[in-house]
Amino acid sequence: MTDGAATQVAHVLVAADKFKGSLTAVQVAERVTAGLRRVVPELTVETLPVADGGDGTVAAAVAAGFERREVRVTGPLGEPVTAAFALRGTTAVVEMAEASGLQLLPPGVFAPLTATTYGSGELLRAALDAGATTLVFGVGGSATTDGGAGMLAALGARFLDAAGEPVGPGGAPLADLATADLSGLDPRFASVDLILASDVDNPLTGPKGAPAVYGPQKGATPEDVQVLDAALAHFATVLEKTIGSRAAEAAVAPGAGGAGGIGYGALILGASFRPGIELMLEVLGFAPALERATLVITGEGSLDEQTLHGKAPAGVAAAARAAGKEVVAVCGRLALPPEALGAAGIRRAYPLTDLEPDTAKCIANAGPLLETTASGIARDFLS
Ligand SMILES: O=C(O)[C@H](O)CO
């Protein structure tokens, strides 16, 4: 079948995010390319792995030509981990999930109340030490819900309880916070450009806040969510007493609730918020690649309601539609009706579950299934 743009299509841009749990964004691009070329061997395919600020953001920057720099930092459970940031000239892409991400926890282990973002602060400092003056701070995919307190502590802030002792790591101990002292924060933040690239636009607390919406995926029970929500609200109140109304404004600003509230911490540091995918498309050089393309293939592991709220495929499709380009999507699983896809600018989606309905087998064989799926796209659109 020829499903549309067909015979004129000569230049395909593959700009997809990872399939979480099975393929990195780079592997997705490789598999799609291989599947397309199986049907149209001479096809021009350009790949631009994308990310929305969450895990995979540094990998996408490295694939786009940034240099990978590794540092030893403190992991979410306090253990040492190796984390990377990406550097090109004086621009660094720092991904909080590299230091404080869910993927760093051992299988089945969660620490919703005590996981810390301390290592994210160490990673930001390493990027400054490397000479970065623009910091693109990608947040999402975190193990933490500490409002960025750990990150701020690593950068020189002091958070003390009533006895004058530092409060413990994580979100829950912030309930004991009596005083905050931000005077020791790394002075370089006054002059660098810190941009918060968040995968979500939630506020810090409340029904749409970080604990309520994203706490459960980090192992928080309903009781834990209440504890964390109250602790983060208290954290914001203490910071308001310390630095004034700016702290209260930050708590309700879009992105404050990104990655367990590290977005809030970044705003306290002076960050400006940008939707992660929008900013990353700029950083990765998407616009010129889009100009050359006649068909765009985007995607991610699950195309669902969350996709429409600023995830990578929605950002790619919106930009491609604005440029008048045809977009199709690949995904592991599809939970959106055709109308919702159409409204997002996606002509058609190809879920791997169409080829392998058994979820476990589908995940285990995602690579070969994706190649076969891409061959189907080539037959539908390119032959
Ligand atoms: O890390 C998280 O909490 C989610 O990805 C939202 O940012």
Whether the CB-CB separation of 355 and 332 falls below 8 Å is answered with: no
| Atom from ligand 1 closest to the CA of residue 210 | 3
Q: Is the pLDDT of residue 89 over 60?
A: yes
Cα separation, 11 vs 8, in Å, equals 9
For residue 21, give the DSSP letter. Answer: T
Give every CB contact of residue 131 below 8 A, 6+ residues apart in sequence: 90
Q: Is the pLDDT of residue 18 over 90?
A: yes
Rounded to a whole number of angstroms, the CA Rg of the chain reads 21
Cα separation, 201 vs 308, in Å, equals 13
Closest CA to 71 of 89, 58, 53, 57: 58
Q: Is the pLDDT of residue 5 over 70?
A: no
Separation of first and last alpha carbons in the chain: 9
- Model pLDDT for residues 276-295, shown as the tens digit of each residue: 999 999 999 999 999 999 99
Residue 236 tokens read as 């914001």
In this prediction the pTM is: 0.93
Q: Is the pLDDT of residue 9 over 70?
A: no
Mutation choice for ligand 1 from 100, 144, 199, CB with most ligand atoms inside 8 A: 199
The pLDDT confidence band at residue 82, using thresholds 50, 70 and 90, is very high
User: 214 CA distance to ligand 1 centroid (A)?
Assistant: 6
Instruction: List, as one string, the DSSP characters of 116-155.
Output: --HHHHHHHHHHHHTT-SEEEEEE-SBS--STTHHHHHHT
Mutation choice for ligand 1 from 217, 228, 264, CB with most ligand atoms inside 8 A: 217
ipTM for the complex shown: 0.98
Whether the CB-CB separation of 250 and 233 falls below 8 Å is answered with: no
Mutation choice for ligand 1 from 142, 146, 264, CB with most ligand atoms inside 8 A: 142
Cα separation, 217 vs 144, in Å, equals 10
Q: For the residues 62-88, what does the mean pLDDT come to? A: 98
- Model pLDDT for residues 46-70, shown as the tens digit of each residue: 999 999 999 999 999 999 999 999 9
Give me the pLDDT at residue 8, please.
59
Give me the pLDDT at residue 309, please.
80
Q: For the residues 100-111, what does the mean pLDDT come to? A: 96
